Amino acid sequence: MKVSYQLVEKDYSTFLKQLYFHSNLVKQVALTVAIAGLLASVRAKGQPIIIIPFIVKFIGIGVLVYLLFVVIPYLLASARVNKTLLGKNISKSVTIENINEGVTIRMGHEYTIIKWPEIRTVGKVKDYLYTKLYDGRYYVVPLAYFSSSSESDKFANEINAGIINSPDNNKIKKLHNLYYWGLLGLIPNFGAIAGIILLIKGANVKDKKLMVIGISCVMLTVLFWVLVAILV
């Protein structure tokens, strides 16, 4: 199955806003509230919770968490996209097609094959269907270029089936599943231990992202105890 479409530069910025601020809004709010509530409730032994200082700490920590986990990743993604698009003419017609080996992208005289092990996931936001690669790149198709919602679902399911059935993809997926262990970084002390393990593992397999996650886990524990020292 294939689809032809045309993008303008605005499509990329709109897609990123929908991806980071709309598609996972409930999860983002729940995570922010949970972390802010946990950290704001930290107090000396036997000390009661005083409402106004608690609310001030809760709001401050909530803003910090939202910046750290949503706004900063969005800004970094936007910077990568702008760097990629710099000096390029993206107004050409694009054709994306699913084949046995993976997905082909044809833009003018340029022809690219993306093999199944390179694709991390396929998904939808409000106005776009997207394919995300393990190297962080996105290929975006406006949903308006599909004749119906069922056609876009069929296209996405074909890509998803190719990812699942690729034997090489399983090895890559196991490595990238380690990224989720970075969530342990939200637990002080335990997160630091997990961070050291992830940092060592990342160095062994030469995965820079895993190393960054490991360092971040350690720094979150450091930040936690700095906040405790300041606020308690």
Distance CA 119, CA 158 (A): 13
Is the confidence at residue 44, as pLDDT, over 60? no
**What number is the average pLDDT over the span 133-159?**
89
Is the confidence at residue 152, as pLDDT, over 90? yes
Distance CA 67, CA 222 (A): 18
CA 90 to chain centre: 24
pLDDT band at residue 232 using 50, 70 and 90 as cut-offs: low
Supply 165's token pair: 């059935």
Is the confidence at residue 167, as pLDDT, over 80? no
Whether the model pTM is above 0.85: no
According to the model, what pLDDT value does residue 91 have?
A: 64
- Specify the residue for token string 């969530």: 183
> If one looks up domain 1-165 in CATH, what number appears?
2.30.29
Is the confidence at residue 175, as pLDDT, over 60? yes
Q: Over pLDDT 70: what percentage of the chain?
A: 89
Query: Which residues on adjacent β-strands are paired with residue 2?
Result: 97
Q: Residue 177 carries which side chain, given as an amino acid letter?
A: N
Distance CA 71, CA 56 (A): 21
Q: Which helix (H) or strand (E) holds 51?
A: helix 51-66
pLDDT in tens, 4-20: 888 887 888 899 999 98
Name the segment(s) of the chain with CATH classification 2.30.29: 1-165
**What number is the average pLDDT over the span 196-221?**
85
According to the model, what pLDDT value does residue 90 have?
A: 62
According to the model, what pLDDT value does residue 203 have?
A: 84
Number of H helices, E strands in the chain: 8, 7
Residue 139: φ, ψ to 5°: -115, 125
Q: Which helix (H) or strand (E) holds 97?
A: strand 93-98
Is the confidence at residue 211, as pLDDT, over 70? yes
Is the confidence at residue 154, as pLDDT, over 90? yes
Distance CA 65, CA 179 (A): 18
Is the confidence at residue 170, as pLDDT, over 70? no
Interaxial angle between packed helices 51-66 and 25-40, expressed in degrees from 0 to 180 and rounded to the nearest 10: 140
Average pLDDT of every residue of the chain: 83
Report the residue count for the chain. 232
**What number is the average pLDDT over the span 153-177?**
78
Q: Over pLDDT 90: what percentage of the chain?
A: 16
pLDDT in tens, 75-108: 988 888 777 766 565 666 888 888 888 899 888 7
Q: Helix, strand or coil for residue 182?
A: helix
**What number is the average pLDDT over the span 39-60?**
78
Alpha helices in 95-143 (DSSP H): none
